[in-house]
């Protein structure tokens, strides 16, 4: 039977029932999970409302962060354990070699008195390099949030939100009026830049309207000349 990809509606209902009963079941990340290794486990914490987008809150195993994911990024199927690589077979023992011991004739040399051995210099222990102190991780610390506004020209804007390194909100269209209102609540420099972009888009759209109006008038005149 083929493996399921992500959580089905029945799986979500089952997990919600287990949470209501006071248990925190385990789920596993699929290959679609952004920034997570497929097969890694996580503990289910809660469901947010409404049930759309990344509404399932979990805590990955070995981490203290609480993160949100969509049903397609999680599964109830536990991955099989990884197989250890087989050890190579032992090498066959080598056959014993026949050795022939020869006793060459060596003339006796006059014995010289042994020179006194120099005393070894005392070893100086070098100090070990200091290890950098690890910064204590704050329990439940809020990850960094980055909000990005992008314009594609002709008055079209999108907004994107990153929570740490994970996309909390994918690029979503927003109206120019909303962008202008948000810019006014920020610094005057931001508001001036956004207003300049909006003015350029207005001028472009106005030129297009004038062009279309001239084409419409020319078409109407041609139609009048045909006696319609």
- CA–CA gap between residue 188 and residue 45 (Å, rounded): 42
What mean pLDDT comes out for the span 144-171? 82
Reply yes or no on whether the pLDDT at 66 is more than 70: yes
- CA–CA gap between residue 33 and residue 75 (Å, rounded): 10
Token pair of 225 as six digits:
């000349």
pLDDT, residue 83, reads 67
Per-residue pLDDT tens for 178-223? 989 898 888 999 889 888 888 888 888 889 889 989 998 999 999 9
Reply yes or no on whether the pLDDT at 4 is more than 60: no
Reply yes or no on whether the pLDDT at 148 is more than 70: yes
Reply yes or no on whether the pLDDT at 25 is more than 50: yes
CB 168 within 8 A of CB 183: no
Domains of the chain by start residue, with CATH = 9-75 (2.30.30), 145-225 (no CATH)
- CA–CA gap between residue 88 and residue 90 (Å, rounded): 6
Reply yes or no on whether the pLDDT at 134 is more than 70: no
Mean pLDDT over each residue of the chain, to the nearest integer:
80
**pLDDT greater at residue 4 or residue 6:** 6
Per-residue pLDDT tens for 68-97? 999 999 999 888 876 666 667 677 776 656
* CA nearest neighbour of 28 among 18, 42, 15: 42
Which of 24-38, 47-61, 104-118 is predicted least confidently?
Answer: 104-118
């Amino acid at each position: 039977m083929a493996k399921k990809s992500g959580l089905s509606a029945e799986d979500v209902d089952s997990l919600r029932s287990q949470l209501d009963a006071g248990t925190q079941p385990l789920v596993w990340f699929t290959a679609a999970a952004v920034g997570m290794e497929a097969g890694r486990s996580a503990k289910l914490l809660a469901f947010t409302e409404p049930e759309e987008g990344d509404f399932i809150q979990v805590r990955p195993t070995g981490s203290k962060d609480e993160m949100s994911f969509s049903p397609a990024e999680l599964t109830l199927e536990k991955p099989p354990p990884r197989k250890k690589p087989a050890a190579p077979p032992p090498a066959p023992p080598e056959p014993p070699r026949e050795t022939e011991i020869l006793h060459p004739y060596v003339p006796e040399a006059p014995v010289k008195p042994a020179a006194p051995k120099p005393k070894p210099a005392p070893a100086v222990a070098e100090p070990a390099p200091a290890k950098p102190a690890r910064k204590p991780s704050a329990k439940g610390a809020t990850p960094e949030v980055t909000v990005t506004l992008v314009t594609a020209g002709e008055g079209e804007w999108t907004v994107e939100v990153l929570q740490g390194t994970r996309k909390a909100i994918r690029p979503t269209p927003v109206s120019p009026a909303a962008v202008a209102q948000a810019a006014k609540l920020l610094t005057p420099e931001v508001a001036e830049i956004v207003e300049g972009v909006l003015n350029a888009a207005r001028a472009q759209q106005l030129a297009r309207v004038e062009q279309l109006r001239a084409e419409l008038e020319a078409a109407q005149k041609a139609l009048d000349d045909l006696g319609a």
